[in-house]
Structure formats: structure tokens, C-alpha cells
Amino acid sequence: MRQSNRQCPGFIYTIKSGDTLYSLANRYNTTVRAILQNNPELNPNNLVVGQQICLPSKATPGSCPGGFLHTVTINDTFYSIARRYNISLTSLLNANPGIDPDTLQIGQRICIPTTPPPAQECPGRLYTIQAGDTFISLARRFGYTLDALIAANPQVNPSNLQIGQQICLPPAPGGGPFACYGGSIYRVKPGDTLYSIASRFGISYNRLVQANPQIENPANISIGEPICIPG
């Protein structure tokens, strides 16, 4: 079913299974009223898969002039997002007139009406979050206090870590190369590999790799390089 031949002051969208005018308004940052104004012949209670409708030009997905887009993750609310980016709840609501704050969906993009926060420099090493990671487990694994790990990542919500997210592992106290609390430092000797070192100290290869986030390539370690042997 095609849209009428009248000119569309926006762009043509083809209805898909599960679409409603409300979901489309949320997805494209517009309102149900604006969609109906562009489609006076449309029956909002009888959308048909394959039907073409006209969405307002301002509904272009991904638009956020003067700000940047935030992708909703689990446990996100308008209130928590406003606090994270240090903006008022009112300004966040005004920047997203087509979005119902009570029905946020994971993966939905909303407009943050401010400049993006500056990238946080990491004086230590970056670590990529994996399944099951928490700040508590990471602090224990790498020998940090929980407060030190939180202080090194002021823009990160410890209760909402995402797989693939990068966090900063701070340097060890006293200017050491990395933290190895509760363990000991071993210097690589000729012929050593992480596999042979792990076997020598009776620990698993994976545990040795996890205790040494400073090693970018586990297959390429250098003679004299310090390795943390977890206790």
C-alpha cells in the first residue's frame, strides 16, 4: 500500500510488523500529532505492514543539533541520564519532545542537549569490560581499592557496566608500572612465554593474563619485562 502522490514534507517510511504511531514517534523524535498532520487519511488504529506514510522532516533519526546522542542502556532513566551529564531534567525532556520518559527502551537514542563530555585521560591502562565484570571483582583481580578504581573513572556508572566498555586501570601507588597487590613481580627471562610462566607458578594462563592488563600482546613479551604473578 503506497502513500498518496501528494508531496511529503519529510521522508517516506514503510510500516513494519509491530509498528505503532507511538513507537514511530519515539524512534524518530517526533510526535503522534505531527505524524497524523502529515497523513490526514491515515487510520492510526489500522496500520498495515508495507503501508507507506510520511514522517516529518524534523524526525530524521540521529538528529541532535547542538548536542549529542546517548544510547539507552539497562537501568537508564531520564533522571539518571540527566545526573550523569550534569543537566537539568527539564532541559532533557525539552530536547526529546517525542519520547515518553516512562517507556525508555534499551538501544533507544535520546538527545543530550549539551556538548559531549571531554574524553577522560587514563594515566594507567585501559581495560575492556567482559561478561561478569564488576568494579568490585576488577578491584580484587587487579589489586586496587574500590575507591581508587571509582576515582579513576568518574564518568563511569559502576552499577551499569557494559560489555565492550573501556575503563581506566590506575597506575600502582609509588609510580610502579602497574598494581600487583597480593602477588609478586617476576622478570621475563630468555625463552619465557606466558604459558611457561603460568605453568612454573602453578596458575592458569587466563589468570596470568588477567593479572597483567598492561601486556598488550600476550604472545610477545620482552626479556626483563615485569610480570605480576597473582597470589
Residue 158 or residue 39, greater confidence: 39
Q: Return the DSSP state at 197.
A: H
pLDDT value at position 122? 77
* Amino acid 59: pLDDT: 46
- Output the pLDDT for position 191: 92
Q: How confident is the model at residue 82 (pLDDT cuts 50, 70, 90)?
A: confident
What average pLDDT score do residues 130-150 get?
80
Contact 183, 227 (CB under 8 A): no
**Percent of the chain at pLDDT above 90?**
7
Mean pLDDT confidence for 150-174: 77
Q: Where are the beta strands (DSSP E) in the chain?
A: 10-14, 52-56, 68-71, 109-112, 125-128, 166-169, 184-187, 226-229
Over range 9-18, report the average pLDDT. Answer: 80
Q: How far is CA 3 from the centre of its chain?
A: 38
Q: Which of 74-78, 142-146, 168-172 has the highest mean pLDDT?
A: 74-78
**Would you place residue 84 in the very low, low, confident or very high pLDDT band (cuts 50, 70, 90)?**
confident
Taking only the tens place, the pLDDT of each residue in 114-127 is 766 655 677 777 78
Task: Kindly list the structural domains of the chain, giving each domain's residue range(s) and its CATH number in brackets, ordered by start.
Answer: 10-59 (3.10.350.10), 68-112 (3.10.350.10), 125-229 (3.10.350.10)
Q: Which helix (H) or strand (E) holds 93?
A: helix 89-95
pLDDT band at 198 (very low <50, low <70, confident <90, very high): very high
Within 8 A by CB and 6+ apart from 169, the residues are: 122, 124, 125, 126, 127, 138, 142, 144, 149, 152, 178, 179, 213
pLDDT tens digits for range 23-80: 787 777 778 888 898 898 998 888 998 898 888 765 444 567 777 788 777 778 888 8
Query: Alpha-carbon dihedral of residues 212, 217, 221, 222, nearest 10 degrees?
Result: -110
User: What is the distance of C-alpha 100 from the center of its chain?
Assistant: 21
